[in-house]
Structure 1
Amino acid sequence: MFRTAMRNVFAHKARLLMTVLAVMLGVAFVSGTLVFTNTISSALEKSSSKGYGHVDVAVTPGYIEGGDDKVGEEAKLTDSTLEKARSVPGAASAYGVLSGYAAVADQDGKLVGNGFSTKGGNYWGTEDSRYPLKDGSAPHGKNQVALDAETAKRAGYKVGDQVRMSIDGPVLTPTVTGIFTTDDGNVTAGGSLALFDTATAQQLFQKPGAYDEIDVRAAAGTSQDQLRAALDKALGKDAVDTETGRQLADGQAKMISESMSSMKQLLLGFAAVSLFVGIFIIANTFTMLVAQRTKELALMRAVGASRRQVTRSVLLEAFVVGAVAAVTGLAVGIGIGAGMRSLMNGTGAIIPDGPLVVSGGTVVSALVVGVLITMLAAWLPGRRAAKIPPVAAMNAVHAAPTAKSLILRNTLGSLVSGVGIAAVLAATTMKGDAGQAPMALGAALLVIGVFILTPLLSRPLIAAAAPLLRAFGISGKLARLNSVRNPRRTAATASALMIGLTLITGLTVIAGSVQSAINKMAADSIKADYVVSMANGNMLSPDVRETLDKTDGITAVSGMSNAASRIDGYGEDLTGVNGKTIGKLAELPLKDGTFTVGGTKVVVDDRTAKDHGWKAGSEFTVTYEDGKKQRLSVAGVYEANEMIRGIMVDSPTLDPHMTDAVSDMQVMLKTDGGTSDAAKDKLTKALGENPAIKIQDRQDISNEVAQMFTLMLNMLYGLLAMAVIVAVLGVINTLAMSVFERQQEIGMLRAIGIDRKGIKRMVRLESLVISLFGGVLGIGLGVFFGWAAGELIGKSMATYSLILPWGRMGVFLALAAVVGILAALWPARRAARLNMLAAIKAE
């Protein structure tokens, strides 16, 4: 039986090639994902551990809990804390560390770095071993700065140049006095780092006399744990939090691992889709191979082979095919992993240097996945072949499925589909995250149920194409008949394409609907001509609001600042606004009372009002950040949305109680001439042509949202393209083996007068019909899942409504047609070139 199985593998090399390719692509995706994520994780972990090499213990501010009548606050690390840390027994040195946002512009005025990782900090001087100087000297005074070497290289700066930069709004133009090297993981990953002297950094980052962290080095003979214990005792556990350098490195490694885990799970999810699609191709291939060898297997049974031996021989073939595909896929996957790292480096997301990591787990996973998937898909055809009685098999090349088996399949498919639909519909009635798991389960069951029912669905749906196929004469009629001749084979082929298009359509429907909801939200809630904010989402400097207040041509300005408070014993964020102008800049539908903000009168969103049991006229006591209390009254209750919500307090009432400098999340404004290029240019110049500040009108906000969704969809389309490629291989495989199977029939058609063009047309139309059948099923399921997911999203987004992207769905259907046409090229050519006399004589 072993020799027979190996002979069959080598006898059907061409037919098994598509199966090998399908498995290989899936395995390559899995192994490439593991290699890529392991390589990046390893490089980042090593880089971060180097970054903590200068720290034995890090001291950070503790948090002082607030009571019912007091707002909690972060403790401060001052010069006094720094001196205490330096004098602790076992401490060799201590440095106060500051960090914040520092946007650096290149020579063309464009932002350098990746937004969130454009950082700034303080430089302690030449004894600062964290940032050894490569060129120049340490910065001194507010007009001097040091840049990391990578940023200086990318932006084209050298010692002595003036650099345009921003901390939180105003433009600075300090001189570059030094260029340093660093192992900081954010910098090596493509960010930027600008360092000032400590006094300047404290002023710029609005932390006068304070530090974000104190890094302490241990003296010789003192362990990190001993130093930490001494610091806890000297500084007080309640006032500070301490961590050893080893703990920091381990925590950073864990954080990197968790962040890479999300990416790994996403990529492996798409690999699983490709492998799932590949199962249909493998099962189809082995079903046809077994059908073509029915007489041979029957003869083996007649001469003494048992059912188990027949099944094992088929599984052995699958094992060989899977092993070859797995090894090849692993090699290709290693190349994909290396290519993905190079691609990320090419896009500016610089990855720290490090070796390509091919772990034992990656190798084992690739081999296990490739072999198991292939053998699993081949098991059912092998079992089915073993159950055919020898006498029946010798009398017929293909044993037609019995009525009982068809009834059983259709009943099972209906039950599974029904349960899936019920679970999805039940999930749409749930709130929050509770509906996600039932919906995912229901979606999986429905897809499986539809696959089981696909042979039943194929006849009526393909019959609907009959009027169109008649236009192609006898070729069209034969194509339709061939498409429904073997419903199981047609179903397996179409289902592979169906799964890919289901995911693509569903994601497109959801993304388009959410984007439309956000656009509507922006249009409905913002009446301002422009919204000014930081590019990285940080707080704006107070200077921005003051500058805009003084700019000619601006008729209304309101900042939006955040402040912590306590109300009824619970923490609540307050939003400071200009009570006189906010009504002109924001459109918030009132549910109760009037939109009046000023003095002690505030407006509250409906969700907060419901939580506290407030309505128009209600009064409450607020405890501000500085500990002072005030009685406020609710003038009105407005409808919250994802862009604007919270308790709005007049800025003159709130600002005096803020413990730090007043900073706005954004500033909204109206101009006397409305939106125009000239107005935007005027605002840009008024704010010093700052690379860190965004000035957006409603269309810009809409375009930013659209760009985000377009980028996300393009990434998902690229990942799902793997499943579509596997589906194409499935169509080619099915048609090629179908042509081989029907050699005699094709020879007879040629003999009675159908020319080669007619044969080609017949095979192409058959492929087109099968692909469109899969496309229609996939788009239909995708729309259903998109609607169901939208029902969950709509519960938390009032402006959400289902938007069907008819144009894109038409493109997806056309894509299915193109897949059918391209997949048929080789099988159609092969069918047309058959020698009619040899084909008629073929078994």
Structure 2
Amino acid sequence: MRNVLAHKARLMMTVLAVLLGVAFVSGTLVFTDTISSAYQKSSEKGFAGVDVAIKPHKSDDDSGNPGAAPRLNQRLLDQAGQVPGAASATGAVSGYTAVADKQGDLLGNGFANTGGNYYPGTGGKDPRYTLTDGRAPKSAGEVALDSKTADRGHYKVGDAVRLSVDGPVRKEKVVGVFTTDDGNVAAGGSLVLFDTPTAQRLFAKPGEFDEIDLRAAAGTSQATLKSGVDKILPKLAEATTGQQLADDQAAMIKTQMSGMQTGMLVFAGISLFVGVFIIANTFTMLVAQRTRELALMRAVGASRRQVTRSVLIEATAVGAVAAVTGLAAGIGIGAGLRSLLNSTGATVPDGPLVVSPTAIAVSLVVGVVVTVLAAWLPGRRAAKIPPVAAMNSVHAAPTTRGLVVRNTIGAVLAGAGAAGVLAGSGMGSDGKLPMGLGAAVLVIGVFVLTPLLSRPLIAAASPLLRAFGISGKLARQNAVRNPRRTAATASALMVGLTLITGMTVIAGSVQKGIDNLATGALKSDYVVSLGGFDGVRPLSPDVERTLGKLDQVTALSPLRNSASRIDGDTEYLTGVNGKTIQKLVGVDFKEGSFAGLGGDKVVVDHKTADRNGWKRGSAFTVTYEDGRKGRLSVAGVYEGNQMIRGIMLDNSTLTPHMRTVTDMQVMLKTKDGASDATKNAIEKALGDNPAIQVQDKKDISNGIAQFFTLMLNMLYGLLAMAVIVAVLGVINTLAMSVFERSQEIGMLRAIGLDRRGIKRMVRLESLVISLFGGVLGIGLGVFFGWAAGELISSGLPTYELVLPWARMTVFLVLAAFVGILAALWPARRAAKLNMLAAIKAE
């Protein structure tokens, strides 16, 4: 304990390294616990007025028509209201509804833009919504907006608002503003209410509902009410208690948040993994500086176990202080992340900051255990040094046997890891596990081999260092003098840059593969669809008719989706315009062509054909969505891909069997090809609708790759923590190295090396070590990126390896910047040493 207090400055960097790692872990736990709790409480509020809910439900057997179960009707709603113990019954119908602000831009976050009905029950009020201004919509042309959407769009009662439900723009009058506990609205979405007949016409059919919500009378439990409802249920419906709905939604939210939590904890683990190198390095140097002290303790009777224990107790004290402060910092990070999320527009439901006992326990255990484990090896090594040898300082250089053993172990691990990665790369989708294990083993193997690799790689920089004279020569010699210390310092940067480079290679290559896919699969100039992240919103056939009237359009085809049953399995049929599809889609045919598509002739992708044993001329029976049966024959088999696949048939055959005729998207070709003018003309013809996307091939490619870009940006942000820890590691190593070499630096000053030369020497040493770690990290990242690409290419045949030379150069420059930045304080400290005091230093 006296040593901890005596070396406060030397241990500060170690505390900071542990603190950052613990702060990342605790911040992650606090943030995810807080968000999860807020959403769960919000979902419980949303079901507060629902005691029993009736929803359409379909069993997995072959009974009934293909597709979803039919909606609920008015008759069932009336019956539900008469069930003993029911105080009220409310019919609900909902669907996608986009709201434009007064500038014409989309309000909400794109995937939670919902429309519903206001169902006046007892007293003419809908228990789900509380009107704060105006009144409820009573007829077509009137809507009510949730208060948050009204505030964001600056709407008030009496204003006109532009909406889109299935494509065409609608202009409605705002007659009311309401509040709601709907979790989607709390998370930044929008909610628009229509009168019930209008909502049914827009989202279903007259007299149909998506859900019936019942409230229990006083003294009636949810279970009792559900038992009564079960007696009146039709075959294709089910009843669920409000408590069960809240529990299910809470479980779903918890599952979704656990994925985010796991992802963030992975990066926290990376930060701690980097921190382990720094902590181990720090304690190695601390123990080395106290070798004589420890040897004297051994000489006066201390056992090896006591020496090791003293180092571990010191580490425990440091870890405990760092863990407590890291936990406090993590709570601040958790609160800051929630505020940051709100500032980006992704509104989070209100709720208290949650600091769970788990978060506290994990943070404290992680901080102490990581520090103790990192200090154990240096302490054990120090205890093994014979007292006489330690006091004579003949122990400094590692033994040849020790280096041979280390290099042998490293070579075996690196070889086994590389073999695992290569084996996994050739196993397709089954190679993820062996590749992941191989990558971990390879990184450990390279870390073990880093002292061996440091000499030749740093020697390669000698010609450049010679330009800096004696300072450059001394910097190179200092970098290779203690290869283990250099390795531990460089490995911190290596881990971070390996991950960044690997993900950048994968993201760039996937983007190129998607570009190739879009270019090869589409001949159309534009694809028109409704916005949103899921990409499957129903589009009104009016959109196709509007586009067909444009002079610029030379060919178009709507794509329609309809469920069917073939040989007892559910298959989705894709309806197209058989006369124009070959002008809009580019796929290679193994048999036949689009020319045969029409009537009862279909074309299928090769995987569907292989699964069913079909070939050109094969015939099969299909049960359509409306329950009717038909006989179809295969006119062609094409090479499917992620964009074009499935069973295609002419819309004239499919449309009569669809319950509701809607399009997934409309593909079109224009006279002058894709251009800004043509796109503007199409958007104008569709009423400048903010909900409709008019995308060319590049837009489609960017939209698909958006997920990878988002993940890559998140990765850069999260790995910034690891880089910060790595910077601290370099600073720590250099600062302690300067302290360790005080006598040497004093001698150099005495024989003529000025302060500028001393600073340059320390900076160049830091630069060389950082670039060494950067080169290793980028090299490993490229290898892992290539290997992961081999896995991806099995599912994305158009995948093409792209090496981002510009970004890799930036990463290398970043590593150099880290080295220069980290050396500022140690170089300044070395230059300020008093040469006479330094020469006398022990």
* TM class by smaller structure: over 0.9
Match of 2:192 in 1: 194
Q: Deviations over 1:79-124 (max 9, x none)?
A: 0111111111111111111111110111111111111111110001
**2:598 pairs with 1:598:** yes
In structure 2, how many angstroms separate the alpha carbons of the residues matched to 1:164 and 1:564?
A: 33
1:446 counterpart (442, 446, 464): 442
- Deviations along 1:430-474, whole A, 9 cap, x unmatched? 232x22122111111111111011111111111111111111121
Cross-structure match for 1:582: 581
Measured after TM superposition, the shift of residue 206 of structure 1 is: 3.0
2:377 aligns with one of 361, 380, 397: 380
Aligned counterpart, 1:147: 145
CA distance in 1, matches of 2:487, 2:549: 70
Partner of residue 241, structure 1: 238
Deviates more, 1:293-302 or 1:588-597: 588-597
Structure 1 segment 186-335 matched on structure 2, within 5 A: 186-236=184-234, 238-335=235-332
1:352–1:829 CA distance, 2 compared to 1 (3 A): same
- The residue that corresponds to 1:7 in the other structure is 2
Find the residue that maps to 1:824 and give its secondary structure: helix
- Three-state SS of the structure 2 residue aligned to 1:93 is strand
TM-score by length of 1: 0.97
CA distance in 1, matches of 2:218, 2:333: 47
Counterpart Cα distance in 2 of 1:180 and 1:532? 33
Higher mean C-alpha displacement, 706-715 vs 783-792: 706-715
The correspondence for 2:389, drawn from 388, 392, 411, is 392
Matched with 2:117 is 122
2:698 corresponds to which residue?
699
**Structure 1 position 373, deviation (Å):** 0.7
Shift of 1:550: 2.1
Question: In 2, distance between residues paired with 1:842 and 1:799?
Answer: 65
Q: 1:487-543 CA distances to partner (integer Å, 9 max, x unpaired)?
A: 100000000000000000000011111111001101111111111011012121111
**CA positional deviation for 1:708:** 4.3
Residue 90 (1) aligns with residue 63 (2): no
What is the match of residue 555 of structure 1? 554
TM-aligned CA deviation for residue 398 of structure 1? 4.7
1:754 counterpart residue number: 753
- C-alpha deviation, 1:707, in angstroms: 4.8
Q: Letter of the aligned partner of 2:633 in structure 1?
A: S
Q: Matched residue of 2:591: which SS?
A: strand
**What TM-score, normalized to structure 2?**
0.97
Q: Could you tell me which amino acid in structure 2 is paired with residue 408 of structure 1?
A: V
Secondary structure class of the residue paired with 1:575: strand
Amino acid aligned to 1:809:
M
The amino acid of 1:493's aligned partner reads T
* Structure 1 position 704, deviation (Å): 3.2
Question: What is the letter of the counterpart of residue 275 of structure 1?
Answer: L
Amino acid at match of 1:487: P
Q: How does 1:740-751 map to 2 (within 5 A)?
A: 740-751=739-750
For the 8 Å contact 1:66–1:72, the answer to whether it is kept is no
- State the match for 1:828 in structure 2: 827
| Corresponding letter in the other structure for 1:30 | V
Larger deviation, residues 394-403 vs 645-654: 394-403
Match of 2:627 in 1: 627
Alpha-carbon distance change, 604 to 162 in structure 1, aligned in 2, over 3 angstroms: same
CA distance 1:626–1:65, change in 2 (3 Å) = farther
Cα distance, 1:228 vs structure 2: 0.7
Match of 2:502 in 1: 506
- State the alpha-carbon separation in 2 of the partners of residues 706 and 101 from structure 1: 24
User: Is residue 2:14 matched to residue 1:19?
Assistant: yes
1:68 deviation in Å? 8.9
Residue 214 of structure 1 aligns to a residue whose secondary structure is strand
Q: C-alpha distance in 1, partners of 2:195/2:94?
A: 12
Task: Write the letter of the residue equivalent to 1:643.
Answer: M
Q: Tell me by how many angstroms 1:263 deviates.
A: 0.8
Please tell me whether the aligned partners of residues 75 and 239 of structure 1 are also in contact (alpha carbons under 8 angstroms). Answer: yes
Q: Aligned residue for 2:467?
A: 471
SS at match of 1:36: helix
Q: Does the 8 Å contact 1:57/1:216 carry over to 2? A: yes
Map residues 803-842 of structure 1 onto 2, 5 A cutoff. Answer: 803-842=802-841
State the percentage of identical aligned residues: 70
2:57 alignment partner AA: G
Which amino acid in the other structure matches residue 47 of structure 1?
S
Quick check: 1:295–1:397 contact (8 Å CA) kept in 2?
Answer: no
Please tell me whether the aligned partners of residues 114 and 191 of structure 1 are also in contact (alpha carbons under 8 angstroms).
yes
Are the equivalent residues in 2 in contact too, given 1:64–1:74 (CA < 8 A)? Answer: no
Displacement after TM superposition at 1:565 (Å): 1.2
- Look up the match of 1:654: 654
- The equivalent residue for 1:643 is 643
Question: Could you tell me whether the CA contact under 8 Å between 1:69 and 1:623 is conserved in 2?
Answer: no
Gaps of 5+ in 2: none
Counterparts of 1:592 and 1:18, CA distance in 2: 68
1:488 corresponds to? 484
Match of 2:166 among 165, 168, 187: 168
For the aligned residue pairs, the C-alpha RMSD in angstroms reads 1.4
Which whole-Å CA distance do the structure 1 matches of 2:187 and 2:394 have between them? 62
Q: Is residue 788 of structure 1 aligned with residue 783 of structure 2?
A: no
Q: State the SS of the aligned residue for 2:558.
A: strand
Shift of 1:649: 0.5
Q: In structure 2, give the amino acid aligned to 1:113.
A: G
Name the aligned partner's letter for residue 96 of structure 2: Y
The equivalences for 1:407-418 within 5 A come to 407-418=404-415
Greater shift, 281-290 or 413-422, is seen at 413-422
Counterpart check, 1:349 vs 2:346: yes
Q: Deviations over 1:658-697 (max 9, x none)?
A: 12x2211110101122222221121112111111100111
Check whether the contact 2:581–2:594 (CA below 8 A) recurs between aligned residues. Answer: no
CA distance in 1, matches of 2:177, 2:825: 61
Alpha-carbon deviations, 1:806-827, whole Å to 9, x = none?
1111111111111111111111
Instruction: Give the distance between the partners of 1:542 and 1:214, measured in 2 at CA.
Output: 29
SS state of the match for residue 664, structure 1? coil
Query: Amino acid of the residue matched to residue 328 of structure 2?
Result: A
Contact between 1:84 and 1:235, CA under 8 Å: does it hold in 2?
A: no
Name the CA distance, whole Å, in 1 between partners of 2:57 and 2:476.
75
- Secondary structure (helix, strand or coil) at the match of 1:152 reads helix
Q: How many residues align?
A: 835
CA-CA distance at 1:399 after TM superposition = 2.7
Question: Matched residues in 2 for 1:619 and 1:33: separation?
Answer: 56
Q: Residue 565 of structure 1 contacts residue 622 of structure 1 at CA under 8 Å; is this kept in 2?
A: yes
The 8 Å contact of residues 578 and 651 in structure 1, kept in 2 or not, is answered as yes
**Aligned amino acid, residue 115 of structure 1:** G
Could you list the runs of 4 or more consecutive aligned residues of structure 1 that deviate by over 4 angstroms after TM superposition?
Answer: 705-708
Structure 2 contact 428–790 (Cα < 8 Å) conserved: no
Give the superposition deviation at 1:631.
2.1
Paired residue secondary structure (2:232): helix
Aligned partners of 1:800, 1:710: CA distance in 2, in Å? Answer: 16
Aligned counterparts of 1:626 and 1:436: Cα–Cα separation in 2: 42
Kindly state the Cα deviation for residue 324 of structure 1 after the two structures are TM-superposed: 1.1
Q: Distance in 2 between matches of 1:568 and 1:245?
A: 38
- The equivalent residue for 1:360 is 357
The 3-state SS of whatever aligns with 2:664 is strand
CA-CA distance at 1:361 after TM superposition? 1.4
8 Å CA contact 2:573–2:649 kept in 1: the answer is yes
**Corresponding residue number in structure 2 for 1:3:** none
CA distance in 1, matches of 2:198, 2:241: 28
- Residue equivalent to 1:666: 665
Structure 1: runs of 5+ lacking an equivalent: 1-5
